Amino acid sequence: MVVQRWLGNPVLEPTQNWWECRAVFNAGAVYHDGRVHLLYRALGDDYLSRLGYASSIDGFNFDVRSSTPVLESEPGDEFERLGCEDPRVTRIDGKFYITYTAASVYPSSNPMPDGCTGAPWRVRVALASTDDFQTFHRHGVVIPDTDSKNAALFPERVNGKYLLLHRVFPNLWLCRSDDLLHWDAHSVLIEPRDGYWDSCKVGAGAPPIRTDMGWLEFYHGVSCEGIYGLGVLLLDLENPGKTLFRSNTPILSPSKEFEKDGIVPNVVFTCGAVEIDGRYFVYYGGADKAIGVAVVDRDELLGEIAKGIE
């Protein structure tokens, strides 16, 4: 079960704009009104993460791209001192919601987090929303007391609740909310597996996609050797805390030069996948430097998952 890279990859690379001259990667994606809309993470000479925007009709060639960031850290926001990272985009009830990682470090006066031996990084799940990808409403940090990232919203309520995937190292978690702002009922969905491609840590990738078989989740895993890969989960439609299928092997692993050589080597990392004409387009960051896309036929993928369930 392997997705097919587009031969023209990468679809987006750094430009000469100061805020995205070092890297563009980890793009959230949504398909709406006949276009693919990407919100991507960008790094410039100051190495602060900001979000840029691009769109495409065919999902491969991006003819619209912002010349300035569309979302960046709010001045004075203690949780975003190091930027806005890894956006995921989910359309709910006609509005686009963006989950992203608010990045900072703990104040030097604070006790070091358990197990911390380097910089005391602080990561929090933050939420914004937009109607047009130009003007954004910030809802702030929504999981305030926990170091967490890789947050992805389900596109609809399940049993009356909003659902969110997020990563508290090293596991992928699921939680629930009545209003998108206050989250509870946190529980571990999956853990790393010894001896597999995702043996070190696991996290959400794209927002889950509803299928007749269940919720399809493209997720990322990291091996104990530090190699990132992509796999798939299938979650029960009515009880998404129940995993019906999980990839034993990755559907995408670093092999191309732009996936192996970059700011962080040997990385393929998705924040967004869309369905167009019966195919899933999976957008991914390669080595934290550029953005690629891989495509897989929907029915073929679901058929292989069905075989795995049997």
Q: What is the pLDDT of residues 103-157, one digit of tens each?
A: 999 988 777 666 666 788 999 999 999 999 999 999 999 999 999 999 999 999 9
Phi and psi torsions of 128, nearest 5°:
-140, 170
C-beta of residue 142 within 8 angstroms of C-beta of residue 127: yes
Residue 116's pLDDT is 66
Residue 112's pLDDT is 67
Q: 2: which 2 tokens?
A: 């392997």
The owner of tokens 């004075």 is 76
> What's the CATH architecture for 4-309?
5 Propeller (2.115)
Calculate mean pLDDT across residues 178-183.
98
Q: CA 238, CA 176: separation in Å to the nearest integer?
A: 13
pLDDT per position as a tens digit, 246-261: 999 999 999 999 999 9
Which helix (H) or strand (E) segment holds residue 300: the answer is: helix 298-309
C-beta of residue 231 within 8 angstroms of C-beta of residue 198: yes
What are the CB-based long-range contacts (under 8 Å, 24+) for 41-45? 41/84, 41/85, 41/86, 41/87, 41/285, 42/14, 42/69, 43/263, 44/17, 44/18, 44/19, 44/20, 45/18, 45/21
**Whether the predicted pLDDT of 80 surpasses 90:** yes
**Whether the predicted pLDDT of 91 surpasses 80:** yes
pLDDT per position as a tens digit, 214-239: 999 999 999 999 999 999 999 999 99
Residue 118's pLDDT is 77
**Residue spans per domain, the chain:** 4-309
Which helix (H) or strand (E) segment holds residue 257: the answer is: helix 257-260
What percent of the chain lies above the pLDDT cut of 70?
A: 98
**Whether the predicted pLDDT of 63 surpasses 70:** yes
Please name the amino acid found at residue 20.
E
Q: CA 105, CA 116: separation in Å to the nearest integer?
A: 12
Q: 202: which 2 tokens?
A: 């696991």
What are the residues whose beta carbons fall under 8 Å from the beta carbon of 303, sequence distance 6 or more?
none
